[in-house]
């Protein structure tokens, strides 16, 4: 649904996302009522991926023929703070990053792709400001959390937005002593989570 291959919803989706149907369908309880689900669905943007394939590739494995549309970071808070701040670096409004409610895949596919279609030529508000692509913070979906590393969220940049952000790096806070202090915390965080990952792998092997 959120990748654009189909707009059809599973049967009783409005109940599945809310309180379910007694005796036949367990609800996820992410929305209070089926009616709220209905109203929420009407606000979800539609994309079409029919006849196309989606490829996910690590940045260091991109080839010259690749033309990525979205750059997705899986990161913990200290790294996210840098991504969040650079995403707002050239904006006068405080909303350079959005966090729409939805499935985990919607935060790395649907919403970043929709934002990437904005070209800055349309009026985005009553004051005449332009509609520029926004960055998407995500992976808050409780159903997706078991599949994501501990303490990790995502920040997805539409490619055009990412290119601008990279161009601002040298003149931004990333060159300051303040950020150097954060980098030390990033190193500490990496060390702690590597140890946690080793512990989890050991526990998983013992359960097999």
Flag residues of the chain having pLDDT under 70. 1-2, 4, 121-130, 201, 203-208
Confidence (pLDDT) at 198: 74
Confidence (pLDDT) at 36: 98
The answer to whether 79 touches 87, Cβ cutoff 8 Å, is: no
Confidence (pLDDT) at 53: 85
Integer distance in angstroms from the first to the last C-alpha of the chain? 35
- Read off the pTM: 0.87
Confidence (pLDDT) at 196: 75
- The string of pLDDT tens digits covering residues 3-40 is 767 777 888 999 999 999 999 999 999 999 999 999 99
Confidence (pLDDT) at 123: 52
Which alpha helices (DSSP H) does the chain contain, by range?
A: 13-16, 34-42, 77-87, 104-105, 111-116, 159-168, 177-207
Confidence (pLDDT) at 4: 67
Cα within 13 Å of Cα(38), Cβ side? 5
């Amino acid at each position: 649904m959120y990748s654009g291959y189909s707009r059809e919803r599973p049967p009783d989706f409005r109940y599945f996302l809310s309180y379910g149907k007694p005796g036949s369908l367990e609800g996820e309880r992410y929305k209070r009522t089926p009616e709220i689900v209905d109203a929420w669905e009407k606000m979800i943007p539609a994309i079409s991926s029919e006849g196309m394939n989606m490829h996910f590739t690590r940045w260091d494995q991109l080839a010259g023929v690749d033309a990525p549309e979205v750059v997705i970071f899986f990161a913990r808070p200290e790294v996210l703070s840098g991504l969040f701040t650079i995403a707002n670096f050239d904006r006068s409004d405080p909303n350079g990053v959005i966090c729409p409610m939805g499935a985990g895949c919607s935060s790395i596919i649907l919403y970043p792709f929709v934002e990437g279609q904005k070209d800055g030529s349309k009026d985005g508000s009553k004051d005449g400001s332009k509609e520029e692509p926004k960055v998407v913070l995500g992976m808050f979906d409780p159903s997706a959390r078991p599949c994501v590393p501990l303490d990790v969220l995502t920040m997805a940049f539409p490619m055009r937005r990412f290119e601008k952000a990279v161009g601002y790096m040298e003149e931004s806070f990333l060159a300051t002593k303040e950020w150097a202090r954060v980098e030390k915390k990033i190193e500490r965080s990496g060390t702690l989570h590597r140890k946690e990952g080793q512990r989890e792998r050991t526990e998983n092997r013992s359960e097999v």
